[in-house]
Amino acid sequence: MKVLVCVKRVPDTGGGFKLTADGMRVDTTNLGFTVSPHEECAIEEAIRIIEKHGGSSTVLTLGPQAAQEQLREAIAKGITSAILLEAEDYEFWDPAATAQAIAETVKSLGFDILLFGNESADTCNYQVGLRVAHLLDLPCVTGIKALEIQNNTAIAKRETKDGWEVYEVPLPAVFTVREGINTPRHPSLRGIMSAKKVPIEQKKVTKPASQIVRKALKKPQEGRQLEILGQGVDAVPKIVEKLREVGAI
Amino acid sequence: MILAILEIVKGSLTETSLETVTAARDLAQKSNDSVAALLMGKGVSTLAPTLKGIHTVLVAEDPHLEGYLPDALAEIAAYAIRQKSPKIALAPGTETGNDLMARVAARLNLGLATNCVEFSVEGGSLKRVTRLNWGGSLLEEVEIFSSPILLTLAPHALAAQSADGATPTVETLSLTLTEKALRVRMKELIPTEKKGISLTDAKIVIGGGRGMGSAEAFKMLEELASLLHNAAVGATRVATNNNWRPHSDQIGQTGAQIAPDLYIACGISGAIQHMVGCKNSKKILAINKDPEAPIFQRADYGVIGDLHQVVPALIAELKKLKGA
On whether any CB of chain B is under 8 Å from the CB of A233, the answer is yes
CA-nearest residue to B97 within chain A is A126
Say what the pLDDT of residue A161 is.
83
On whether any CB of chain B is under 8 Å from the CB of A23, the answer is no
**Looking at chain B, how many residues does it have?**
324
CB neighbour list of residue B198: distance below 8 Å, 6 or more residues apart: B232
* B138/A247 touch (CB, cutoff 8 Å), yes or no: no
| Percentage, residues of chain B above pLDDT 70 | 100
Say what the pLDDT of residue B194 is.
73
Confidence band for B39, pLDDT divided at 50, 70 and 90:
very high
| Contact present, B3 and B90 (Cβ < 8 Å) | yes
Mean pLDDT for chain B overall = 95
Give the C-alpha separation, A126 to B114, whole Å: 8
Question: Residue A189: left (phi > 0), alpha (psi -120 to 50), or beta?
Answer: alpha
Compute the nearest-CA separation of B115 from chain A (Å): 8
Look at residues A21, A53, A59 and name the one whose alpha carbon lies nearest to residue A40.
A59
Number of neighbouring beta carbons within 10 Å of residue B213: 16
* B272/A17 touch (CB, cutoff 8 Å), yes or no: yes
**pLDDT tens-place string over residues A114-148:** 999 999 999 999 999 999 999 999 999 999 999 99
Backbone angles phi, psi at B272, to 5 degrees: -50, -50
Number of neighbouring beta carbons within 10 Å of residue B21: 26
Give the C-alpha separation, A41 to A34, whole Å: 13
Which residues form the domain of A241? 2-245
Checking if the pLDDT of B167 tops 90, the result is no
Which DSSP symbol is given to B300? S
Which of A174, A226, A234, A245 is the best mutation test for B, with the most CBs of B within 10 A?
Answer: A226
Amino acid in position A229: L
The mean pLDDT value for A74-91 works out to 98
| Contact present, B58 and B38 (Cβ < 8 Å) | yes
Instruction: Find residue A165's DSSP bridge partners.
Output: A158, B189
On whether any CB of chain B is under 8 Å from the CB of A246, the answer is yes
Confidence band for A15, pLDDT divided at 50, 70 and 90:
confident
**pLDDT tens-place string over residues B169-223:** 999 998 889 889 999 989 999 998 877 899 999 999 999 999 999 999 999 999 9
* A235/B204 touch (CB, cutoff 8 Å), yes or no: no
Query: Is domain B2-182 in CATH 3.90.226.10, yes or no?
Result: no
CA-nearest residue to B191 within chain A is A163
Look at residues A11, A2, A4 and name the one whose alpha carbon lies nearest to residue A32.
A11
Residues in chain B with CB shorter than 8 Å from the CB of A233 are 305, 309-310, 313
Instruction: Find residue B190's DSSP bridge partners.
Output: A164
Checking if the pLDDT of A96 tops 80, the result is yes
Which of A243, A244, A249 is the best mutation test for B, with the most CBs of B within 10 A?
Answer: A243
On whether any CB of chain B is under 8 Å from the CB of A223, the answer is no
Q: Kindly report whether the peptide bond that precedes residue A184 is cis, defined as omega within 30 degrees of 0.
A: no
Residues in chain B with CB shorter than 8 Å from the CB of A249 are 227-229, 318, 321
Confidence band for B304, pLDDT divided at 50, 70 and 90:
very high
Burial (0-12, 13-18, 19+ Cβ within 10 Å), A130 = buried
User: Based on the structure, what is the number of domains in chain A?
Assistant: 1
Residues in chain B with CB shorter than 8 Å from the CB of A243 are 204, 228, 262, 318
**pLDDT tens-place string over residues A19-74:** 999 999 999 999 999 999 999 999 999 999 999 999 999 999 999 999 999 999 99
Compute the nearest-CA separation of B147 from chain A (Å): 9
Compute the nearest-CA separation of B53 from chain A (Å): 30
* A179/B270 touch (CB, cutoff 8 Å), yes or no: no
Give the C-alpha separation, B31 to B14, whole Å: 26
Checking if the pLDDT of B68 tops 90, the result is no
Residues in chain A with CB shorter than 8 Å from the CB of B272 are 13-17
Q: In what order do the strands lie in the sheet with A212-218?
A: A212-218, B138-144, B125-133, B113-122, B149-153, B88-92, B2-5, B35-40, B56-60, B169-172
* A212/B112 touch (CB, cutoff 8 Å), yes or no: yes
Compute the nearest-CA separation of B243 from chain A (Å): 8
* B272/A15 touch (CB, cutoff 8 Å), yes or no: yes
| Contact present, B154 and B91 (Cβ < 8 Å) | no
Say what the pLDDT of residue A8 is.
98
CA distances from B73 to B40, B45, B64 (A): 7, 16, 10
Nearest Cβ partner of A226 from B231, B240, B299? Answer: B299
Instruction: Find residue B119's DSSP bridge partners.
Output: B129
**Looking at chain A, how many residues does it have?**
249
Residues in chain A with CB shorter than 8 Å from the CB of B143 are 212-213, 215
| Contact present, A171 and A152 (Cβ < 8 Å) | yes
Look at residues B115, B107, B39 and name the one whose alpha carbon lies nearest to residue B74.
B107
Domain CATH code at residue A240:
3.40.50.620
Decide if B2-182 and B204-323 have a common fold. Answer: yes
* A130/B106 touch (CB, cutoff 8 Å), yes or no: yes
Confidence band for A110, pLDDT divided at 50, 70 and 90:
very high
| Contact present, A72 and A29 (Cβ < 8 Å) | no
Say what the pLDDT of residue B10 is.
87
Say what the pLDDT of residue B168 is.
94
Give the C-alpha separation, B4 to B25, whole Å: 9
Compute the nearest-CA separation of A230 from chain B (Å): 5
Give the C-alpha separation, B134 to A124, whole Å: 7
Say what the pLDDT of residue A210 is.
94
Give the C-alpha separation, A66 to B127, whole Å: 35
**pLDDT tens-place string over residues A149-169:** 998 999 999 998 889 999 999
* A227/B301 touch (CB, cutoff 8 Å), yes or no: yes
* B138/A37 touch (CB, cutoff 8 Å), yes or no: no
The mean pLDDT value for B272-276 works out to 93
Q: Where are the domains of chain B?
A: 2-182, 204-323
Give the C-alpha separation, B66 to A129, whole Å: 25
Checking if the pLDDT of B324 tops 80, the result is no
Say what the pLDDT of residue B127 is.
85
Look at residues B260, B296, B21, B313 and name the one whose alpha carbon lies nearest to residue B158.
B21
Nearest Cβ partner of A215 from B128, B262, B299? Answer: B128
CB neighbour list of residue B308: distance below 8 Å, 6 or more residues apart: B213, B217
**pLDDT tens-place string over residues B221-239:** 999 999 999 999 999 999 9
Return the SS3 of A124: coil
Nearest Cβ partner of A127 from B105, B107, B306? Answer: B105
Nearest Cβ partner of B271 from A15, A166, A228? Answer: A15
Give the C-alpha separation, B186 to A141, whole Å: 10
Q: Could you tell me which CATH number the domain at B204-323 has?
A: 3.40.50.1220
Nearest Cβ partner of B98 from A126, A225, A247? Answer: A126
- Per DSSP bridges, beta strands B35-40 and B56-60 are parallel
Choice among A79-88, A216-225, B96-105 with the minimum mean pLDDT: A216-225
| Contact present, B252 and B277 (Cβ < 8 Å) | yes
Confidence band for B165, pLDDT divided at 50, 70 and 90:
confident
Say what the pLDDT of residue B145 is.
95
Checking if the pLDDT of B270 tops 80, the result is yes
CA dihedral sign, ordered B245, A17, A70, A196: negative
Look at residues A165, A184, A193, A205 and name the one whose alpha carbon lies nearest to residue B237.
A184
Checking if the pLDDT of A222 tops 80, the result is no
